[in-house]
Homo-oligomer: A and B are copies of this chain.
Amino acid sequence: MTALARRLDTPDRLEPADDTILAALPHIRRELEPGQYLVRDQGHPKYCCFLLSGFTIRHKFVGDGARQIVAINLPGDFVDLQHVLLETADHNVEALTACSVALIDAAALVDGAFASPAIGKALWRHSLVEASIFREWMANIGRRDGRARTAHLLCEVGVRRETAGLGARAQFELPMTQEQLGDALGLTAVHVNRSLRGLEAEGLIARTRRSVTVLDWNGLAAAADFDPAYLHHR
């Protein structure tokens, strides 16, 4: 679980004793295929999933069958930290790509959090940063038009990938279909397509099937009304 220790080492430095606690957490490794569900809405997971590699999405369905993707998770993210203290899942977690995950015993993780304030603060803080991203997504979906929404998601993924050490923010793989992008943005796949092509026509981005190159980061950020403060990075 060195990946876990590395992820929790900010903002407060972990002590060697903390590393010991983390290393001793009961967990199992699992490999997931694209499309595989990790958590089902209304389920009662007893573990907490830490994403080692790959992308996951979290989504919920509304009455008419439409879907809202509420989060995209990158390596180094806890995918369902809420299940350490909430008994019943309120949404689904699904592997977007092939993934490696560590399933950590939820009760043990809570014990670890209260055995070491540094661990506890890092985990709690993780929950809080995630909530901040949710708030920005609400503003994005509720108050920006299709073009800005789409651009905002590209900016966020670029920055978060960069922060996670997965490469430059201006060039990355985005392993989502336009249908999935639409579900994340509150748009239809058709409208996502037109938004992406619009950004491309403006010279802000270039695309191949699943990779995005930002040609003009400042221009894209302006189109997106993107300010990374909500990510609460250091």
Contact residues of A with B, CB < 8 Å? 42, 58, 60, 62-64, 66-68, 70-71, 81-82, 85-86, 88, 90-91, 110, 113-114, 117, 120-121, 124-125, 127-132, 134-144, 148, 185-186, 225, 229-230, 232
Contact = CB atoms under 8 A, between A and B. Distances in A.
A58 to B, nearest CB: 8
A86 B129 contact: yes
* Complex copy number for this chain: 2
Contact of A225 (B63, B117, B138): B63
Contacts of A127: 124, 127-128, 131
Query: Interface residues of A: mostly helix, strand, loop or mixed?
Result: helix
A131 B129 contact: no
Given A42-B229, A124-B127, A136-B90, A141 B144 contact: no
Contacts of A141: 138, 141-142, 186
A85 B125 contact: yes
Q: Enumerate the 6 nearest inter-chain pairs by beta-carbon distance, A residue then B residue, closest first.
A: A142-B186, A63-B225, A134-B134, A68-B139, A131-B131, A114-B117
